[in-house]
Amino acid sequence: MGPCTLTIVHQIINIFGPTVFVVALGYLLGRVSKASVETLIDVAMFIATPCLVFSSMLSSIIVLGEAARLWASYFMVLAGTFVVAWLVFGLMKNRRRALYLPVLFANTINLPLPIIYLAFGDKGVATAILLYVPNAFVIYSLGIYMASGHKELRQGLKAVLRTPLIYAAVLGIVLNVTGVSLPGGVTNAVKLMGQAAVPLMLLVLGMNIGRFRISQIPLTLTASMIRMGGGFAIALLAAWLLGLTGLPRSIVLFESAMPSAIFVSVLCTKYDNEAELVASVVLTTTLISVAVIPALLYYLV
């Protein structure tokens, strides 16, 4: 390896190493203690993450035209992965509705956000959150609608309205675009609380990994390849068509290749809809990401 390659590898280790360490701590915590993962999830999702989102949105330069292209790229990847999954599952004669959930919805917050923060800083976080906004609306509406057997669209929309992260993102964008400034004590306090989001999300991920098992291996591997490989390939096309370059392109490609969202496993368990199979895809894609993420960082950083 040349000096440049060694520098990149060292940088990847510095980014990914702490992530793996904290996830491993979460896994061990889940195995040896009776700590409530639900409590950690509540603290992370209702307090720490909204603070991180608000702080990042407030301090970053936001261009509305760029935001629109990010949102367009999300819907292109969502539609593209659905078409690929529909075709592949049709050929396999196995179109289970619940199986589309872990294919369509990636883990765009608790796994990638800490890594994006370490690799790209606050600006990377702000870009990732902009990309997450439409994802949150879709997963809490269409996702719940699909998981419940097409019965609970209203519940999904209510879930969106109860998500502080959405309000934090919108408020941060509004204050940023309008040029409204807040007292330094307020912004520092919010930023301090937001710094807790990264380790909390990784601990939760580690604790959840121990709950899942792999089953129906051929179907699980097929769904996993569509989620990560298909998502990345479609994101490349979307970035090219939309003219995305630099940091926005890197974030779109990185997020589109992420493993399945853990939340879809929670949904399918709640509505008793292929919960074991969905959890198997979530676990498999998460394990695959251990190899995929360093490769993505090597390509994008």
Max alpha carbon distance in the chain (Å)? 59
Compute, in degrees rounded to 10, the torsion defined by CA atoms 110, 115, 118, 121. -70
Domain range holding 101?
A: 3-300
The region, left, alpha or beta by phi > 0 then psi within -120 to 50, assigned to residue 214 is: beta
What pLDDT, on a 0 to 100 scale, did the predictor assign at position 9?
61
Query: In angstroms, rounded to a whole number, what is the distance separating the alpha carbons of residues 226 and 276?
Result: 19
User: Closest Cα to residue 285, out of 207, 181, 212?
Assistant: 212
Dihedral (CA of 4, 296, 129, 54) sign: negative
* Residue 8: closest CA among 233, 298, 300: 298
CATH label of the domain that carries residue 267:
1.20.1530.20
Alpha-carbon distance of 202 to 210, in angstroms, equals 13
CB-count burial class (<10 Å; 0-12, 13-18, 19+) for 96:
middle
**pLDDT (tens digit, 0 to 9) for every residue of the chain, 301 residues total?**
545 455 556 666 666 677 778 878 888 887 887 777 777 777 877 888 788 878 877 776 766 778 889 999 999 999 999 999 999 988 887 767 788 999 999 988 777 887 888 888 888 888 888 888 788 778 777 787 777 766 666 666 666 677 777 788 788 888 887 888 888 888 889 888 888 877 877 777 777 666 667 778 888 899 999 999 999 999 999 999 999 999 999 999 999 999 998 778 777 767 777 777 887 888 888 888 888 988 898 888 7
- Please, are residues 49 and 149 in contact by the beta-carbon 8 Å criterion? no
Angstrom distance (rounded) from CA 175 to CA 29:
39
Quote the number of domains for the chain: 1
Tokens 């899942």 locate to 212
